[in-house]
Structure 1
Amino acid sequence: MFQKLIRLDLSYCESLERFPYVNGESLKYLNLKYCSSLEKFPEFLGIIKSELKIMMSHSGIRELPSSFFDLQPHLTELHLSFMKNLVSLASSICKSKGLVRIDVSNCSKLESLPEEIGDLENLEKLNASHTLISRPPSSIVRLNKLKFLTFAKRVDGVYFFFPQVDEGLRSLEYLDLSYCNIIDGGLPEDIGSLSSLNELKLGGNHFEHLPQSIAQLGALQTLDLFHCVRLTQLPEFPQQLNAIAADWSNDLICNSLFQNISSLQHDICTSNSLSLRVFTTVGYNIPRWFHHREVGTSIFVKLPKNWYVSENFLGFSVYFSGQFIDGIAHLFCYHGRPVTCIAQKLALSIHSECRYLPVIYCFLVPLTGLLDKLKANGKTPNDYGCIKLTFSDEVEQCGLRLLYKHHDSVTRILQTGITVL
């Protein structure tokens, strides 16, 4: 029956318990969503000749028969989310080489994926979030057309281990392993070979260190390390990174953020302004790591005596919230009153459109570009006792801190009389 049927939608038939066989050679779309009483997958006769999408989210089906996948090479999408009775996927699913998308998210009893999943050579999206899967098959790295992959969870379960990449997953752009209970060793050391990765979400895990190869993720623009409470130092940043989320209440994390920014800023001086990289992050308030915080569009800080330590001073760490349009950094030679002042326009490069709100921005103002003006005035940096940053009216609050390569060696200096005027 139904030999010429193209579309069959039985969604929300909550009382449906049995289903006749389908001789649907022309079928392109089957929807059994919310058929919560249906426990057995319908029997198909013959080979479906068209591309087929199957939607079974929230259904009561317990398993997908192996025989179905043996005969359906044109299956392109399989949506199985919230199937609370689904315990496993038949290995024969991997014979459906036309599959482009698989969604098994929120299948709360699903513990594993088929070992042969790497055979799905056309798969582009795999959503396995909020399942019991803790060890993806090693063959998953052979999915070289895969662009989207998530195993994110809500609560800690067993430890999660991602296999060695082995230069696979060459098209992967998005990887979400949030709250997977990953500890040190749970991430592959060669994760840096994911050459197309644009966004990496690792929030809520328990590692203390991250693979050094993260710095080699040449396409990475967004890195989420939020709620990684055991992490005390950020990894070296890839060159293209412009958005990061982390625990900014941790002073060590804040310090390593700006150490990273300092190492990334090269060739920043232009003839009229400093061209500075801006990083976007998530937050409401300026972190406490900043000794100086002000509500409004400017901040004026009196510097301690001998604040500039050659080969150690990296610049002025700056945070702000709101929208930046333009800004100027001023250094004042100050002996009871301003004697001389040098100013430098700031040209900030903000490339990220952060999808998470609210956002705050951070950048580093080095002395590069100011030093020539200092020398022209016959002055040294320590002759200047104040710094003022002025922003456009759209800035709501800002913070500033002096950044040193070796912070401990200048602790005494930092504790002597820096005040906000």
Structure 2
Amino acid sequence: MKKLRLLKVYWSDHSSFMKKESKVLIPKDFEIPSHELRYLYWEGYSLNYLPSNFHGENLVELDLRYSTIKRLWRGSKGLEKLKFINLSHSEKLTRISKFSGMPNLERLNLEGCTSLRKVHSSLGVLKKFTSLQLKDCQKLESFPSSIELESLEVLDISGCSNFEKFPEIHGNMRHLRKIYLNKSGIKELPSSIEFLESLEMLQLANCSNFEKFPEIQRDMNSLQWLVLGGTAIKELPSSIHHLTGLRELSLYRCKNLRRLPSSICRLEFLHGIYLHGCSNLEAFPEIIKDMENIGRLELMGTSLKELPPSIEHLKGLEELDLTNCENLVTLPSSICNIKSLGRLVLQNCSKLQELPKNPMTLQCSDMIGLCSLMDLNLSGCNLMGGAIPSDLWCLSSLRRLNLSGSNIRCIPSGISQLRILQLNHCKMLESITELPSSLRVLDAHDCTRLDTLSSVSSLLRCSMFSCFKSAIQELEHGIESSKSIGINIVIPGSRGIPEWISNQELGSEVTVELPMNWYEDNDFLGFALCSLYVPLDDPFEDGGLKCQLIAFHGDQFRRVDDDIWFKSSCKLYENGGVSYLHKCCDNGDVSDCILWVTYYPQIAIKKKHRSNQWRHFKALFNGLYNCGRKAFKVKKCGIHLLYAQDFQPNHYSSQLLRETANCNIKRSRDNTESDPAEGPSHKRLRDLQP
């Protein structure tokens, strides 16, 4: 073994090695006699020290991760060729030797060394050192008071809860790019941090003792990401404008933050400002010049009462989120001058009673100026019937509108490209006059006063089957992704599986036989899968709401695809993405049966299953799941083959419509008994049944 150059001892079970002790027994008089050793990797090394006769003069890499070592060796050694030390997760390590005998050391990984209290000061002068990992060294207190590591690129001290003082920067540390101090005990940063001319990322997330960011007296052109979320910071210095290259500023959950300096508008490359959860932030600064690059502004959960009219200077703003800004009373009309705004979220802004109006006429809204707006969320706002300006419906760009839980009384016509309309829990809503043909999802559950839905018998037929047809066309043109297949429909309060589902069985399994050469029939569009869930008394471990589609021939079984997940949400698959809509049981008191229907397209069946060998298909529905405070079990299921002729008017759609109407009638009768004042309203709803 005198010529040994590489020694590697590792565990075979890497998935659980953190929980087990090494099974390699090492005698106390163990020796490594070779002077030629270049690489030593010993995972779970079980002695407290390396052997006393260890010769490391030729060692290049030392890796003793998850060891029980307390200290590498007694005394000092000359390790002039050593470049990398990894002692990560060596939980008994209390100190590490002097670095003066390791002049070529480049990387040191001490992550998870939870007993380590000190890093020797000799580390601070290593000329070739590039990476120091001290993450989760929870007892670390002592660190070199100053560092001049001219080659250092990455410094990670995150999770070191006892580490309070960052060292002074000396010399030319022109290579340092990333500093991670998240969840550390750091209280302040030295002003000398401004000399880190190559610093790109500085993270201090959840440093609860950090109260003040230092004054910066010179431009830091390279710093792009500054993360101060979850700190105790009260304000940013006006000198923040010296961070000239800043792209992302994260101040989320800074509960002591009260204001932002107006100098922030001088950060011309800033793309995102994240202030969600800053509950004491009462004002947003005036924007004194155009800012072309800010694309995202998150102000959720702040105490803002208004936005400044100068918000219009955010010329490139694409997303503005004001969720849970409960003190917000008004929006400036100038917001409608932001032509790039694509998403505006005003969810649960309970004091907001109206949208911007043109100050010249006080009648016409400026909302029509939002020519790029695709997603508008007004759920939970205190909007009355006249508060939604009529020209909002002329926004041809709008694709998704959420008015859930608001006090609107009617929905006028006009939004030509709307795909998703959410109106659930609109207790004052009385009528929907017209819906666009582009609509893919209408959610109007728990709208107890809803009387009029224009052309209900034809509209619901056309809407439902145009949804299926549209999904098929998108699949044929490759718009949908392979994992985003079909459309899901939920009908709470259902009495059973519709009659048009031709193959029905009690329990959670159902089979269907396909005709010969089914895979060549262009009129065969796919399967309608259906399951009826009934409530149980006791909850249980939720297995998820899913279905397996299996092709079988004799005793051969093949899964057609991955599990088809319903979960407990209505889902819209659109343009290859998934939008989760409301939970069917979001009010927590569902007590009736629930019917789930999903469409699985024929063209999604893989090529290897397209033959007459695979003419029998079985759908297996997961039997149990939890919804709110109730448990449900599948009682009955069904599968039906869909053909092109099924999409002709007055075919199956009227039966599915009747199922939906019966569900509404049942609930309306229940509500009439409990609230006689609403009786006429529900009578008119019953008259809509075909």
Output the TM-score relative to the length of structure 2. Answer: 0.42
Aligned residues: 324
Quick check: 1:244 aligned with 2:421? yes
Q: What's 2:494 paired with?
A: none
Aligned pairs (5 A) from 1:95-174: 95-116=266-287, 119-153=290-324, 156-157=326-327, 159-165=328-334, 168-174=337-343
Q: What's 1:377 paired with?
A: none
Aligned-partner Cα distance in 2 for 1:243–1:280: 5
Q: What's 1:280 paired with?
A: 441
Quick check: 1:318 aligned with 2:460? yes
Once the two structures are TM-superposed, the CA of residue 79 in structure 1 deviates from its matched residue by 0.2
Counterpart pick for 2:660 among 375, 398, 403: 398
Q: What's 2:218 paired with?
A: 46
Distance change >3 Å, CA 290–CA 351, structure 1 → 2: farther
**Residues 53 and 77 in structure 1, CA contact (< 8 A), matched pair in contact too:** yes
Q: What's 1:232 paired with?
A: 409
Deviation per CA, 1:187-234: give whole Å up to 9, x if none. 342112111111000011112131112112111111111110x21112
Counterpart pick for 2:382 among 189, 195, 206: 206
Partner letter of residue 222 of structure 1?
A: R
Quick check: 1:56 aligned with 2:228? yes
Once the two structures are TM-superposed, the CA of residue 35 in structure 1 deviates from its matched residue by 1.1
Q: What's 1:19 paired with?
A: 189
Rg: which structure is higher?
2
SS of equivalent residue, structure 1 residue 200 = strand
Aligned-partner Cα distance in 2 for 1:120–1:416: 52
Partner letter of residue 116 of structure 1?
A: I
Aligned-partner Cα distance in 2 for 1:42–1:17: 11
Distance change >3 Å, CA 286–CA 48, structure 1 → 2: closer
Quick check: 1:94 aligned with 2:265? yes
Deviation per CA, 1:385-410: give whole Å up to 9, x if none. xx98145xxx9952289xxxxxxxxx
Counterpart pick for 1:179 among 313, 332, 348: 348
Deviation per CA, 1:287-328: give whole Å up to 9, x if none. 78589xxxxxxxxxxxxxxxxxxxx9785453879459xx9x
Deviation per CA, 1:38-91: give whole Å up to 9, x if none. 11113435211225210000011111110231x222111100000011100001
Partner letter of residue 40 of structure 1?
A: K
Deviation per CA, 1:306-353: give whole Å up to 9, x if none. xxxxxx9785453879459xx9x9xxxxxxxxxxxxxxxxxxxx9856
Deviation per CA, 1:229-256: give whole Å up to 9, x if none. x211124341011211114664x73631
Counterpart pick for 2:434 among 260, 264, 287: 260
Output the TM-score relative to the length of structure 1. Answer: 0.66
Partner letter of residue 398 of structure 1?
A: T
Gaps of 5+ in 1: 266-276, 292-311, 330-349, 362-368, 374-386, 402-410
Partner letter of residue 208 of structure 2?
A: S
Distance change >3 Å, CA 167–CA 249, structure 1 → 2: closer
**Residues 284 and 304 in structure 2, CA contact (< 8 A), matched pair in contact too:** yes
Once the two structures are TM-superposed, the CA of residue 417 in structure 1 deviates from its matched residue by 9.8
Partner letter of residue 41 of structure 1?
A: F
Q: What's 2:239 paired with?
A: 67
Aligned pairs (5 A) from 1:285-300: none
Distance change >3 Å, CA 24–CA 214, structure 1 → 2: same
Gaps of 5+ in 2: 1-168, 358-364, 465-486, 491-497, 501-571, 585-595, 598-647, 665-679
**Superposed CA RMSD:** 4.0
Partner letter of residue 12 of structure 1?
A: K
Partner letter of residue 460 of structure 2?
A: V
Q: What's 2:511 paired with?
A: none
Aligned-partner Cα distance in 2 for 1:218–1:37: 49
Distance change >3 Å, CA 226–CA 46, structure 1 → 2: same
Q: What's 1:298 paired with?
A: none
